[in-house]
Amino acid sequence: MLVIGVLTQFLIRLASLIRTRRPAHLALTAVEQPALLVTLVHGTFARRAAWTMPDSSLSRALSLGPGKGILVRRFEWSGWNSIGARRAAARDLHLDLTEVARRFPRARHIVIGHSHGGNVALDAMRLSQALLTDGLICLATPVLTPLRRSFGAGEEMTVLTSFFVALAAPAILILKLCGASEAWQEGAVAAALILAPIWFARARSLSDAVAGSMPDGALDPERLVFVRSPSDEASGFIATLSLMNWTVGRIAFWPYRTVDWLIRLVDRNRSNVLAGLTLLLGLGVLLALTAINAASADAAAVRPQAQALYAAALLALVVGMAGMLLVLTAQVLKLARARMWVLAVAWPITIPAGLIAGFLLLPAVLLASLSGMVAIGWELLICSVFVEVAAEPCPTGEWQVIQLPPVSGAGLRHSSVYESDAGIAAILAAVERLGESTLVSSMQRSDEASSALPWGSAAPLRHT
């Protein structure tokens, strides 16, 4: 998968270099000195999205603003489904917004992004140190929320082993099917031994970059509105993949969670556990001595009592010694999780156990990698074991969210946010709120302005 991920990255970058360069932003309406600018940002694989065109229902509704004070424009990016592509588009959008703010210093600016186009706009807002936009409206945007997974030395060794198995097993199988010699198979194993640590190191560094690229603190809740449609197909697809990833991951790492539970249990109650086990051992010794004394008597009636004492002593000794061994094992496991050298010293045990654990973890690695690549981007093909990226309706915190009513019909609900009447009304209501003062002043300056906003009947925003 490391090779597939690198190849995918190379093809994406090659395509971005050889493709015909188009303007990053295109004006849909000609306004010399606009009071309000609205930039439309398309989603994944939608560079020519119909909703961003001049004849779309949303563009026409936005163009019905008072007088000639509204400029509707579109921002075009590669549309590739990858974190890197969206990050590059965010940088381009940030530069574009900076240039627009320089050209129209008195105009207000609102950005509307659909699907992953909303994530592009969110990243652009995070990059901005100055107030480049007065508002952002995200339409059916699966807000990416990363969660960094932390592993101990034992889990990291298991992940590294699973990487080796993922590289070596398919290569050996293909070579055997092709009738290759054992030398070729040994070479494949040697190559996997070299590539697995490279994959491991690259996955860790890439997961750090992914987890650190999406801070919520740089976003202003007063300038953000999220418009969502019920039963959104894209969000449901990503949520399904995330659930599968979560389920398989929890099953695969169940032994390590059991070890964690054991370590926490012993640490919290170490003194009580040791005291209880010591009493059990002492009781066992006392009962054993009593049983020996009773067995030495000649009376036959005493011998059943001696046998019962022997059984009780044996039980107390076994439980006490097993408990002591459990406490010792927990401490060794705690040390092994934090110190790689402990695993290295115990290599006759850790290597076979690591190979078994690697085979058991392999399905989780494959599913997490493939589902992450499809839903989020090729980066998750490499680093999904170390970072989990969920798609949420909004970032962490309190935000303004408009939940649209269910839409009947055969069209995609993911597109209903900008196609349906309810979706357009919600967008116009958000535009009214975010650019209200500009629109009012524009109405006062324009001879053709009406006494009320054209979308004044739109439903008010709901806060969550």
pLDDT tens readout for residues 280-299? 667 767 666 666 666 665 55
Instruction: Name the residue with tokens 């974190």.
Output: 83
Give the pLDDT score at 33.
Answer: 76
Give the pLDDT score at 79.
Answer: 93
Instruction: Name the residue with tokens 């709901």.
Output: 462
* Chain CA centroid to CA 51, Å: 28
Contacts of 280 (CB under 8 A, 6+ apart): 316, 317, 319, 320, 323
Give the pLDDT score at 451.
Answer: 35
Give the pLDDT score at 373.
Answer: 84
Give the pLDDT score at 20.
Answer: 38
The rounded distance, in Å, linking the Cα atoms of 36 and 187 is: 64
Contacts of 153 (CB under 8 A, 6+ apart): 336, 337, 338, 339, 340, 342, 343
Question: CA torsion, points 449, 452, 455, 459, in degrees to nearest 10?
Answer: 160
Tokens found for residue 330: 């927990």
Give the pLDDT score at 259.
Answer: 67
Which residue from 150, 113, 108, 148 is spatially nearest to 131, judged by alpha carbons?
108
Give the pLDDT score at 81.
Answer: 92
CB 59 within 8 A of CB 71: no
Whole-model pTM: value is 0.71
Give the pLDDT score at 51.
Answer: 95
Report, as ranges of residue numbers, the positions in the chain whose pLDDT lies below 50: 2, 16-24, 66-67, 437-464
- Angle, helices 233-252/347-375, rounded to nearest 10 degrees: 180
Helix ranges restricted to H, 178-232 = 182-211
Q: What angle do CA 445, 450, 455 make, to 5 degrees?
A: 115
Going by the DSSP 8-state scheme, the letter that residue 406 receives in this structure is: P
The rounded distance, in Å, linking the Cα atoms of 436 and 428 is: 11
Phi, psi for 147 (deg, rounded to 5): -135, 115
450 SS3 class: coil
Neighbours of 210 (CB within 10 A): 27
The rounded distance, in Å, linking the Cα atoms of 446 and 129 is: 33
Give the pLDDT score at 138.
Answer: 96
